[in-house]
Structure 1
Amino acid sequence: MKVPFLSRKGSKIDQPPALIVKSKSREWFDAIIFAFIAATIIRGVLFSAYAIPTGSMEGTLLTGDRLFVSKIAYGPRMPITPVSIPFMESRIGDSKIKTYWDGIQLPYFRLPGFGNVKRGDVVVFNYPSDAGNDPVDMRVHYIKRCLGTPGDVVSIINSNVYINNVLFKNAPKTQTSYLVKTDGNSLNPELLQDLDIEIFQQINMSDYVMIIPPASFENFRNRQNIKTITEISTAQGVYDEAVFPHNSLYKWNQDNFGPLIIPKMGWTVKLTESTMALYRTAIETYENNKVDVSNGNIFINGKKADSYTFKMDYYWMMGDNRHNSEDSRYWGLVPEDHIVGKSMITWWSVDSDAPLLSKVRWSRILKPIN
């Protein structure tokens, strides 16, 4: 006799339902949704891939390099603008069409990571000078080397960077520009390509401004048609209005700069005309305060103030290609909430100017970034 299924109370229940078999299209749909969710979580919490579009980090990173950037190195930053189209930049191409909706803005929050930003790290961050145009996490991504951390004193003397009055050792492939005087004969373009030398400017038939990697310097200098090579450096005291803080109180330029104290969370600065020139953007824009200056008095959020205590840490970022890099020397401090992650490895690299069969830079595949 067939025995019916019983509940715990002994009552009779129906036979268990037959298993539901999904259609092939439903299986594909579920797989795509799962992959999309998994990719979103991985990209948002673990790591992201980025491409290098310019030469500001040459020769450490080359135009055409593709990188993996670790977000857990410093702790994943949670979305500030949660409503956006995943895997896209904030705007479509060069248009004004946004890929996000800023009707909802969440407070800045970062999950715990493996450590903090350190001097020498190659860091991806949101471009700070876009403040006021797009939300922080929707701004253009930049990549530079961190040279100054919170509380550091940064100075540049004759192109050499000093941190807390100690000379900072350049990355092995840091490069700068030189005035090259030749005998007037034309230069071999294949030689320049082989030595990774870039002609930045041709002054006349015999004089050039060139960016020369350290590894190629001796080889190039010993060529028969090279007369002299002189490193280019703007003299101390020459004011460049394009250089931070864009104020004639500080006669700084790209090669002679500072000293500048990098703000640290909890650090209190006395507010004067000179300190406001340095830190007003941080106080007003990055830390969301209303600042007014009237008759020599400074008002923060409507209250007269003679000092200010910073709420965030800040960083100083510079490119390894020192004379071909728009960096903190021009737009100043990078706030903590702009930090995205640490560049870890070059997973792919393509030279768009090379012949078809030589476009892939095989030597850079899976190369660690130092």
Structure 2
Amino acid sequence: MAVYFSIILVFITVVSGIIWLADKFYLAPQRQLKLATAQKQCEGELSPEISDKILEAPFFIDTPVQIFPVIAFVLILRSFIYEPFQIPSGSMMPTLLDGDFILVNKFNYGLRDPVARKKFVDIGLPERGDVIVFKYPVEPTIDYIKRVIGLPGDRVIYRNKSLYIKPVCLPTDTQCPEFEQVETTLVNKGEYSDGPVGLTRYTSNMPNKTHDILVNDEIIPRTPLYFKQNGTKRDEFVVPEGHYFVMGDNRDNSADGRFWGFVPEENLVGEAVAIWMSFDFERTEEDMLPRWVPTGIRFGRLGSIQ
């Protein structure tokens, strides 16, 4: 849907821009010339009403001229700076909740054209621990949001609900790093739930970012369903060059890279940096209003994303 919206937005901007240029450099001067001609043919001064009538552009010219600056600003803002997204699921709980509206920084990872998504300015790349929005590799018309766990060249193991990372060995390393377990600290249990089951909340200490995760202790690891990569064990992943390995913070309720593989760099949309609005949707079937109507605003959730 976002792809189609981008195409429509670009089309409207181009068409209105062409009309704006045509009006500024040809049609508007022609109306001024018409006014001057009418003034010469008239013995007295033309009334303001008649002058305005002569200078007035037809609606099919005036409307695009009026909307072009606004629509061009929206296109630039949405394509190259920030774009709003809504979180539709609980796969990133407790970091993000259903009903959160987030801002995605689109220039941190380079500037791309809004239709073909080809990068034309290289600014930076994701870091381990970033929360990113990307085009779902299996169905690129769908936007996904997950957390970066593995960078290109990293080896990642998710075994018995514990995460191990072996960073890529760089040419500048005097000794190649080994696997290190990502340490977790118990926070509480039952604050969040999956139906009747209370989830356990941990603080995960990533190498350069600390964040919270949720684990369902009653679900066994779904290792047989994991993405099968040649030359590795089923719960081990080697991140290819130009790709990223991502996971949801709600570990047992997230369809992430463990099940479908890696995110190509060209699929990146941007980094989720802030929650600008958050709504509660706590309606039941007995309520008169539809369930999509918010029941309240969660002001305490507004702010930067960790």
Whether these two folds match at TM > 0.5 is yes
Question: 1:232 Cα deviation (Å)?
Answer: 4.2
Deviation of the 1:240 alpha carbon: 4.1
Structure with the bigger percentage of helix: 2
Residue number among 123, 126, 129 corresponding to 1:117 in the alignment: 126
Amino acid at match of 2:228: P
**Higher-RCO chain (CA-CA 8 Å, sequence separation at least 6):** 1
Cα distance change of structure 1 residues 212 and 39 upon mapping to structure 2, 3 Å threshold: same
For residue 275 of structure 2, what is the amino acid of its counterpart?
Answer: T
Corresponding position of 1:160: 162
Alignment of 1:160-239 (within 5 A): 160-164=162-166, 165-169=179-183, 195=191, 197-200=192-195, 209-214=197-202, 231-232=217-218, 234=220
Aligned to 2:14: none
Q: What is the correspondence of 1:264-303 to structure 2 with a 5 Å cutoff? A: 264=241
Question: 1:340-368 deviations in whole A, cap 9, x for unaligned?
Answer: 10001101111111698851111123x10
TM-score normalised to structure 2 length: 0.63
TM-fit CA distance, 1:231: 3.2
1:342 pairs with 2:278: no
Counterpart AA for 2:138: S
After superposition, where does 1:42-81 map in structure 2 within 5 Å?
A: 42-79=77-114
Contact 1:45 1:76 in 2 (8 A): yes
Structure 2: segments with no counterpart, 5+ residues:
1-31, 37-50, 167-178, 204-214, 285-292
Question: What residue in structure 1 maps to residue 69 of structure 2?
Answer: 34
Distance 1:117 1:199, change over 3 A: closer
- Report the identity percentage: 31
> Are 2:147 and 1:145 equivalent residues in the alignment?
yes
**Selected match of 2:240 from 254, 258, 263:** 263
Deviation (angstroms), 1:230: 9.0
Q: RMSD of the TM alignment (CA)?
A: 3.4
Give the superposition deviation at 1:32: 1.5
Size of the aligned set, in residue pairs, is: 225
What is the match of residue 91 of structure 1?
none
Q: Distance in 2 between matches of 1:49 and 1:211?
A: 29
**CA-to-aligned-CA distance 1:201-221 (integer Å, 9 cap, x gap):** 5xxxxxxx3324349xxxxxx
Unaligned runs of 5+ in 1: 1-15, 83-105, 131-135, 179-191, 202-208, 216-228, 265-312
Corresponding residue number in structure 2 for 1:244: 227
2:304 matched residue in structure 1: 368
Q: For the Cα contact (< 8 Å) 2:200–2:216, is it kept in 1?
A: no
Per-residue CA distance 1:186-210 (angstroms, 9 max, x = gap): xxxxxx6xx3x21435xxxxxxx33
Q: Does 1:128 align with 2:137?
A: yes
TM-score (norm 1): 0.53
